[in-house]
Chain A
Amino acid sequence: MRLLIIEDDRDAADYLVKAFREVGHIADQASDGEEGLALALDGQYDVLIVDRMLPKRDGLSVIGALRGKSVETPVLILSALGQVDDRVKGLRTGGDDYLAKPYAFSELLARVEALARRRGNRGEETVYRVGDLELNRLSHEVSRAGQELQLQPREFRLLEFLMRHAGQVVTRTMLLENVWDYHFDPQTNVIDVHISRLRSKIDKGFAQPLLHTVRGAGYMIRDGAR
């Protein structure tokens, strides 16, 4: 995966480039808005990581310019302005995701990977399949090994989100934002409890668990046999 990091803080940018390299991605960096915009228009990037407050041209205006020129590369906005209204503004300008500083790298990585695969993604598929687990988005039916499972509406949405990102790490905040539409930190481990309920419904009694906990990061649904 090829990334462009537009960030004026040298240390932070270097850290990100190094960290992404370690997990096998290529990352370029630009230190101001103009340079970032030029590179983004020029190069073939899978995801752009854009800081909001940049010299010469601020992050939101870079995104606006890109979208104005029909460059649809997914953008993740990284900003110290982390309140709800800042987020709303960022997403309205054309950003695809928003992460407030300070952040955990695992969180950033999970979101960037989710964005990168978003387009060639299974968004339009009617039936999601992971191993012998099947979820039908139209009929709202879930079955494992041909056996029908009874899920609550919220559990269904939780599973749907996990399966859409099958093979990718999904963090607790991503779940909270996408399944519950909350952007605050609920302090306690509410998401973990929902996951363990879901797990008991889809994995209990089957030899091969599909829903995995990724330590220090989040969760992943994946066909373990492969």
Chain B
Amino acid sequence: MTALGKLLRTTAFQLTLVYLMIFILFAVSLLGYFALNTRRLITEQITQTVNTEISGLRDQYNQGGIRRLVILVDLRSRRPGSSLYLVTTATGEGLAGNVGSLEPGVLDHPGWLETNYRRLDAPEGSEHLALVRVVQLPGGFRLLVGRDLEERERLFDIIANAGQWSLALVIVLGLIGGFFVSRRVLKRVDAMTETAQTIMAGDLAGRLPVAGTGDELDRLADHLNAMLERIEALMRGLKEVSDNIAHDLKTPLTRLRNRCEEVLRGPAGDSDYRAALESTIAESDDLIRTFDALLMIARAESGQARDNMSEFDAAEIARDVGELYEPLADEKGLALKVEAQAAAPVRGNRELVSQALANLVDNAIKYARPDGKLNGAPTEILVKAGHDGEHIMLSVADRGPGIPEADRSRVVERFVRLEQSRSEPGSGLGLSLAAAVARLHGGQLRLEDNAPGLKSIIELPRVGPTGAG
């Protein structure tokens, strides 16, 4: 009951009904037009023949008088066919013809008329419709010439009949078709609804079924699936963040608390308190920094930072960041070089892109082997802005230990720090932020082997046609 109701309320079924109506209307008008035109044509033809015949007979009458006319009509009446003839006196007494009876009063009104008649040789009761013309001849005689309309009526009936049947067929087939189409659609929609319900119930891994036909439902399912993919990733990210916060923020908090307790417990002098407080402040500053970085990543990932987008030159950013870090690198015995001559137009959040690049340079300086020489030259860090047609690439290449290929996707995650880097200061959020910023701009962060060393690349979509290529 409800299943049928549901079926009848589907868009597909209602569309079928609408199409069906339109089709019926169209077919009826077409058939009607056809039938009426045919009828008109037949009538015209009859009129013409009858007129010709009457004028011929009238000529004969004028030349040979009533005798001639009676002979001629008598002759023609005997021919088989649908022609009707009747010649009467002024009082209505039949002289010749093949009409047995007419509706009363027909002969008194000269002109065109549709009337029922019976043929002379037909049995009583078999009356037919005919189109006749009555003329008054000089001398009081009346002449009636006409044609039986049976054929015209039959043709009209056939058309009407055919129309009725085909309409009935169309309606039945249309309804059945609509029923099946909507049931098919309904089935798929039901399947989608079901999946949606399981997803809402908490199973974020569920995906809508795709039939593979590439129709609009498939496209819808594809898009919804992509959306689910994104939601799942966001949720996973959220869970990861909360897990990480639990671990990476609680650990320093515990350390901080322990130190305070320790100082309070023991016999401490002013200088101990001072030292404890100073380290507490330093530790909380670190915590704030970590917290800020987390917030910024969350902001970049949720797309909120999109409000502050403008067009800028990524090459300029490479030069600025390079300039900011060059003395630091120099102090560690590293040569930092910038290659960014050509303009690299990008649309985005200038501050975030700067920070992302700064993080990469910071990492490179942190992990590059100080004083290590490669082929006799001082170890080099190369900051570069370039493009490959569609993408602007901001890259930082170092000669440090690099990142093993297996770990590359992992290090981008929040708080992940490889064993060898645990001793270095840092929150483990630098690469996560760079990756989040790249994604925010519709690009990506790529980590590659610099053989030896690491090459980190922020790939951003390039803006507009090439400027100063």
Q: Which residues of A contact B (CB under 8 A)?
A: 82-85, 88, 102, 104, 154, 180, 182-190, 193-194, 196-197
Instruction: Please indicate the chain A residues that have their CB under 8 angstroms from the CB of B281 in the complex.
Output: 104
Interface stretch, picked from B213-221, B347-355, B368-376, is: B347-355
Given A84-B351, A193-B327, residue A180 in contact with residue B320 (CB < 8 A): yes
Instruction: Tell me if B360 is interfacial: C-beta within 8 Å of chain A.
Output: no
Query: Are B328 and A190 touching (Cβ within 8 A)?
Result: yes
Distance in angstroms between the alpha carbons of A88 and B359 in the assembled complex: 22
How many interface residues does B have (CB within 8 Å)?
Answer: 34
Given contacts A84-B351, A85-B308, A88-B308, contact A184 B327 (CB under 8 A): no
A197 to B323, CA, bound (A): 13
Query: How far, in whole Å, are A186 and B359 apart by their CA atoms in the complex?
Result: 8
Nearest A residue to B429, CB-CB: A187
Does A188 contact B354, Cβ atoms closer than 8 Å?
Answer: no
In the bound complex, residues from chain B placing their C-beta under 8 Å from that of A102 are 284, 288
Minimum C-beta distance from B134 to chain A (A): 99
B327, A82: Cβ atoms closer than 8 Å: no
The answer to whether A187 and B327 touch (CB under 8 A), given A85-B305, A88-B308, A182-B354, is: no
Q: Does residue B259 face the partner (Cβ distance < 8 Å to A)?
A: no
14 additional contacts (CB under 8 A) given A104-B281, A187-B425, A193-B330: A84-B308, A84-B352, A85-B305, A85-B308, A104-B285, A183-B351, A184-B351, A185-B292, A186-B324, A187-B427, A188-B328, A194-B327, A196-B327, A197-B327
Complex: chain A residue closest to B332, CB-CB: A193
What's the Cα separation between A83 and B299 when bound, in Å? 9
A151 to B295, CA, bound (A): 38
A88: B residues at CB distance < 8 A: 308
B365 within 8 A of partner (CB): yes
Given A84-B351, A187-B426: A180 and B292 within 8 A (CB)? no
Cα distance A188–B328 when bound, in Å?
9
One digit per residue, 1 when the CB lies within 8 angstroms of any chain A CB and 0 when it does not, for chain B 310-344 equals 00000000001001110110110000000000000
Shortest CB-to-CB span from B285 to chain A, Å, is 8
CB contact between A154 and one of B292, B323, B358, B365 (< 8 Å): that residue: B323
Q: Is B181 an interface residue (CB 8 A)?
A: no
Check B351–A185 contact: CB distance below 8 A.
no
Q: Chain B, 222-258, contact with A by CB distance < 8 Å: what is the 0/1 string?
A: 0000000000000000000000000000000000000
A residues less than 8 Å from B292 (CB atoms): 82, 185
Residues of A near B288 (CB, < 8 A) are 102
* Shortest Cβ gap from A176 to chain B (Å): 9
**A84 engages B349 (CB within 8 Å):** yes
Residue B296 is within 8 A (CB to CB) of chain A in the complex? yes
27 contacts between A and B (CB under 8 A): A83-B296, A83-B305, A84-B305, A84-B349, A84-B351, A84-B352, A85-B305, A85-B307, A85-B308, A102-B284, A104-B285, A180-B320, A182-B324, A182-B354, A183-B351, A184-B296, A184-B355, A186-B324, A186-B358, A187-B289, A187-B359, A187-B426, A187-B430, A188-B365, A190-B325, A190-B327, A193-B327
Residues of A within 8 A of B330 (CB): 193
Dominant secondary structure of chain A at its interface with chain B: loop
User: Residue B301 at the A interface, CB < 8 A?
Assistant: no
A193 touches B331 (CB 8 A): yes
Q: List residues of chain B with CB within 8 A of the CB of A197.
A: 327
Among B296, B328, B351, contact of A193 (Cβ-Cβ < 8 Å): B328
Residues on the B chain within 8 Å of A85, using CB:
305, 307-308
Which residues on the B side are within 8 Å of A185 (C-beta)? 289, 292
Of A104, A187, A189, A196, which is in contact with the most chain B CB atoms at under 10 Å from its CB?
A187
**Which B residues lie within 8 Å of A187 (CB)?**
289, 359, 362, 425-427, 430
Q: Are A83 and B354 in contact (CB under 8 A)?
A: no
Give the nearest-CB partner of A187 in chain B. B362
Residues of A within 8 A of B366 (CB): 188
Contacts of B359 in A (CB 8 A): 187
Specify the chain A residue showing the minimal Cβ separation from B427.
A187
Interface residues of B in 423-449 (CB under 8 A from A): 425-427, 430
B307, B328, B366, most chain A CB atoms within 10 A = B328
Contacts of A182 in B (CB 8 A): 324, 351, 354-355, 358
Contacts of B328 in A (CB 8 A): 188-190, 193
Given contacts A186-B362, A187-B289, contact A180 B296 (CB under 8 A): no
Q: How far is the CB of A217 from chain B (nearest CB, A)?
A: 13
- Are A83 and B295 closer than 8 Å at their CB atoms? yes
B285: chain A residues at CB < 8 Å are 104
The closest CB in chain B to the CB of A192 belongs to: B328
**Closest Cβ of chain A: how far from B338's Cβ, in Å?**
13
Residues of chain A contacted by B427 (CB below 8 angstroms): 187
Q: Which chain B residue shows the least CB distance to A197?
A: B327
Chain B residues closer than 8 Å to A104, beta-carbon distance: 281, 285
User: With A and B bound together, what is the CA distance between A88 and B366 in angstroms?
Assistant: 32
Most buried by B among A154, A184, A189: A184
Q: With a CB–CB cut-off of 8 A, which chain A residues contact B305?
A: 83-85
Q: How far is B296's CA from A183's CA once the two chains are assembled, in angstroms?
A: 12
B417 to chain A minimum Cβ distance, whole angstroms, is: 14
- Residue numbers in A under 8 Å from B307 (CB-CB): 85
Report chain A residues within 8 Å CB of B352.
84
User: In whole angstroms, how far apart are the Cα atoms of A154 and B299 in the complex?
Assistant: 31
Chain A residue with Cβ nearest B288: A102
Residue of A nearest to B330 (CB): A193
**Chain B residues closer than 8 Å to A193, beta-carbon distance:** 327-328, 330-331
Contacts of A83 in B (CB 8 A): 295-296, 299, 305
A186: nearest residue on chain B (CB-CB)?
Answer: B358
Residues of A within 8 A of B284 (CB): 102
